[in-house]
Amino acid sequence: MVDLYDYSLPTIFLVGILAILTAIEIGRQLGARVGDQGDDHVPTLEGAVIGLLALVVAFTFATALSRFDARRTAVLAEANAITTTALRARLLPEPHRKEVLDLLRDYVNIRLDLTTRSTTQAEWAAEIDKSNAIQEKLWQQAMAMAASDRGMIPSGLFIQALNGMIDDQARRLAAHRSRVPNIVQLALFGIAIVASGFAGYASGLKARRSRIPVYVMGFLVTCVIVLILDLDRPGAGAIEVDQQPMIDAAASIAAISE
């Protein structure tokens, strides 16, 4: 099965618009051959298929938008968790304080860099491994402090914040990986092509009817589908989740570490 995630958005747009316009033209040619003797039920079928297309577009758009909102919320939650961890790290005794803040500075920079540039799956996995390695070092620091003084309140607060930070990274990764199923996207394109063919056929039944409205409809449908795919592709399209909370967290930790 074709996986649309393996192709860039410009490629999908070009192939999609070509397929839809071809379906319109084939339908129009078939309709022109039939002429005014065509089936009276064609407009009804055309309306039904276009209505089905509108329903699937609305459903898919809502799904992609909800996942986009989840990624945006996850960025804010993780940024807040990292900042809270850094603030509580300031309560720790030396040398743990400096070591922890240095690790957190590296950690937030990795998290920020991961989402501000396009990465391959291998690069993404490598960056996540780096994040996990820093988390392990931070946890080792927490274990060392807990072992030296079990009654120390600042250590307990730091451990609690660190645990929340680790959990928020897992939530953000889950939000990043949650996408509209590929089969739904393929079905969307399939229904769009069929609907375009019906629209072209209905247009061809009337010799005087212009091609322009049907072509404009096909172009707009393709644009909406690509917009949905863009929403569903973090780091790969024009629509990006705002990373300002993570930028602010990085600046805050950099100021603390100085």
Give me the pLDDT at residue 117, please.
63
The structure tokens listed for 99 are: 């070591």
Phi, psi of 243 (to 5 degrees): -100, 15
Average pLDDT over all residues of the chain:
85
pLDDT > 70 fraction of the chain, expressed in percent and rounded: 91
- Residues 195, 44: Cα–Cα separation, whole Å: 12
pTM of structure: 0.81
**For 93-150, how does the pLDDT look when each residue is reduced to its tens digit (9 = 90+)?**
888 888 989 999 999 888 887 776 666 677 778 888 888 999 999 998 888 887 776 5
> What is the tens place of the pLDDT at every residue in 197-217?
888 888 877 766 677 888 898
Higher-scoring residue by pLDDT: 86, 234: 86
Q: Span 240-245, mean pLDDT?
A: 85
Q: Are 141 and 30 in contact (CB under 8 A)?
A: no
Residue 159 clears pLDDT 60, i.e. is over it: yes
Residue 32's pLDDT is 78
What gap in Å lies between CA 253 and CA 247, rounded to an integer?
A: 10
- pLDDT of 14: 95
pLDDT for 38 beyond 80 = no
pLDDT value at residue 116: 64
Unique residue bearing structure tokens 């969307």: 188
Cβ 63 vs Cβ 74: under 8 Å: no
Distance from C-alpha of 161 to C-alpha of 89, rounded to nearest angstrom:
9
In this prediction, residue 151 has a pLDDT band, given cuts at 50, 70 and 90, of low
235: left (phi > 0), else alpha (psi -120 to 50), else beta? Answer: left
Contact between residue 121 and residue 111 where contact means Cβ atoms under 8 Å apart: no
Query: How is residue 18 written in tokens?
Result: 């070509």
